[in-house]
Amino acid sequence: MKTEVRKQFAKHFGQDKGSVYASPGRVNLIGEHTDYNGGFVFPGAIDKGMIAEIRPNGTDKVKAYAIDLDESVEFGLTEADAPKEQWARYIFGVCREMNKRGVDVKGFDTAFSGDVPLGAGMSSSAALESTYAFAINELFGENKIDKFELAKVGQATEHNYVGVNCGIMDQFASIFGKEGSLIRLDCRSLEYEYFPFDPKGYKLVLLDSVVKHELASSAYNKRRESCETAVAAIQKKHPNVEFLRDCTMEMLNEAKADINDEDYMRSEYVIEEIQRVLDVSDALKKGDYETVGQKMYETHHGMSKLYEVSCDELDYLNDCAKKCGVTGSRVMGGGFGGCTINLVKDELYSDFITTTKKAFKDKFGKEPKVYDVVIGDGARKLA
Ligand code: GLA
């Protein structure tokens, strides 16, 4: 991919070489919709992501070429110059957010390409944001912005330029990823711990429902609002509560009269999910993958029935996993489409994949895509 990016950059912007940067997408073992509730998540960077070549061009304009879409866009660096194209808004947003943090971002030429499937719940957008945040920090900011803030630049880009009120998980994983390790992150304090992940005898595999979740941002924002509304009701009696992270089911039940049924269900899921991440951490330390898997199924159930971010295709993939004796399976990421993540014993792997592909095709007329998970490094300079 790097060679192709170099080639396309030279074709569009001339032979003078720029610098090349890469950032990955992510998986998440467990802890979904917990990040913006101040809770825990368990992501890892993957071996798929975005690569960009960038060269300052001495002007105040950015000229960007999206190789995979074969589209070029030019934009300036002030708020008034925001591009209309969605993909270019990510780059523009990162420039603006870096600027707000004191980096004097100047014009540059850039071409980029990616191999994270778009809209599949593997955070292609975080990969794009992290690539440019990392690059701009180095090219225009003398690396004065630390890695935590770089992750927040990506998150703020989503909030302020894309319209998704996301948490910090995806950008954090994309910046802090480490080959072979998952990261347990406390999304309130941003304390994190690397967990070497090499489950002997098991594979981690994603099955992509090929339902794109691209139009899900308003539903995502609505879930977040439900959580915040519930917190506001709980705060009446417990003023020190800041997030659902601070709440028990008892506290939620005390406030039940002030919380509508939907917001109650959403909050119940989140409170339980935060605990599941802690349970999985303990189980992983003991090498107890049966418990890890059981928690994954519980998460799927909660995401499907309480948080209501699954869909028929994902529920079906989850059922197939159960029938095939897969240790753990659940919808991964924000939901509304995308992938299930599956923890499967080596000896069941090929039967699971073959059976599920066929059954899914018979039911929905298309095959799910299969991605074996390889845990890779976070944002970096390649050349
Ligand atoms: C999306 C968001 C994350 C997180 C997940 C759900 O990926 O970008 O911040 O909320 O959904 O866990």
CB-based contact 242:6 (threshold 8 Å): no
Ligand 1: does its nearest atom lie under 6 Å from the Cβ of 166? yes
pTM (2 decimals)?
0.97
Catalogue the active-site residues: 170
Atom of ligand 1 nearest to the CA of 41: 12
Q: Where are the alpha helices (DSSP H) in 113-216?
A: 124-140, 147-157, 169-176
Most ligand 1 atoms within 8 A of CB, residue of 26, 27, 30, 35 to mutate: 35
pLDDT band at residue 11, thresholds of 50, 70 and 90? very high
The CA-based angle 256-259-264, given to 5 degrees, is 80
What pLDDT, on a 0 to 100 scale, did the predictor assign at position 118? 87
Largest CA distance in the chain: 67
Q: For residue range 104-148, what is the model confidence (pLDDT) as tens digits?
A: 999 999 999 999 988 889 999 999 999 999 999 999 999 999 999
Instruction: Return the structure tokens found at 265.
Output: 């269900």
Closest among 166, 161, 187, 165 to 176, alpha carbons compared: 187
Cβ-count burial 321-352 (b if 16+ within 10 Å, e if not): beebebbbbbbbbbbbbbbbbbbbbeebbeeb
Q: For residue range 27-59, what is the model confidence (pLDDT) as tens digits?
A: 999 999 999 999 999 999 999 999 999 999 999
Does the pLDDT at position 216 exceed 80? no
Does the pLDDT at position 214 exceed 80? no
Q: For residue range 138-175, what is the model confidence (pLDDT) as tens digits?
A: 999 999 999 999 999 999 999 999 999 999 999 999 99
Cα→Cα distances 165→7, 36, 218, 219, 311, Å: 36, 9, 9, 11, 21
Cα→Cα distances 34→136, 158, 239, 337, Å: 30, 17, 21, 18
Q: Which residues contact 119 (CB under 8 A, 6 or more apart)?
A: 212, 213, 214, 337, 338
Cα→Cα distances 13→3, 7, 110, 289, 369, Å: 15, 10, 8, 50, 35
Closest among 119, 122, 49 to 86, alpha carbons compared: 119
Q: For residue range 264-307, what is the model confidence (pLDDT) as tens digits?
A: 999 999 999 999 999 999 999 999 999 999 999 999 999 999 99
Does the pLDDT at position 65 exceed 80? yes
What pLDDT, on a 0 to 100 scale, did the predictor assign at position 73? 98
The percent of residues in the chain predicted with pLDDT above 70, rounded, is: 99
Instruction: Return the structure tokens found at 311.
Output: 């869909």
Burial of 191 (0-12, 13-18, 19+ CB in 10 A): exposed
Closest among 99, 109, 88, 199 to 156, alpha carbons compared: 99
User: Residue 169 CA to chain centroid, in angstroms?
Assistant: 6
Long-range contacts of 192-195 (CB under 8 A, 24+ apart): 195/42, 195/281, 195/284
Ligand 1: does its nearest atom lie under 6 Å from the Cβ of 169? yes
CB-based contact 187:34 (threshold 8 Å): yes
What pLDDT, on a 0 to 100 scale, did the predictor assign at position 215? 59
Q: In whole angstroms, what is the distance from residue 116 CA to residue 132 CA? A: 16
Q: Residues 79, 85, 89, 95: is their CA dihedral positive or negative?
A: negative
pLDDT band at residue 213, thresholds of 50, 70 and 90? confident
Q: Which residues contact 168 (CB under 8 A, 6 or more apart)?
A: 35, 151, 152, 155, 185, 187, 190
Does the pLDDT at position 212 exceed 90? no
Does the pLDDT at position 378 exceed 80? yes
Q: In whole angstroms, what is the distance from residue 53 CA to residue 55 CA? A: 7
What pLDDT, on a 0 to 100 scale, did the predictor assign at position 304? 98
Atom of ligand 1 nearest to the CA of 126: 8
Q: In whole angstroms, what is the distance from residue 174 CA to residue 296 CA? A: 22
Q: For residue range 329-357, what is the model confidence (pLDDT) as tens digits?
A: 999 999 999 999 999 999 999 999 999 99
Atom of ligand 1 nearest to the CA of 158: 8
Ligand 1: does its nearest atom lie under 6 Å from the Cβ of 24? no
Helix (H) or strand (E) holding 340: strand 339-345
Does the pLDDT at position 257 exceed 70? yes
What's the average model confidence in pLDDT over 65-83? 98
Q: In whole numbers, what is the pLDDT of the chain averaged over residues?
A: 97
What pLDDT, on a 0 to 100 scale, did the predictor assign at position 119? 85
The percent of residues in the chain predicted with pLDDT above 90, rounded, is: 97
Does the pLDDT at position 247 exceed 70? yes
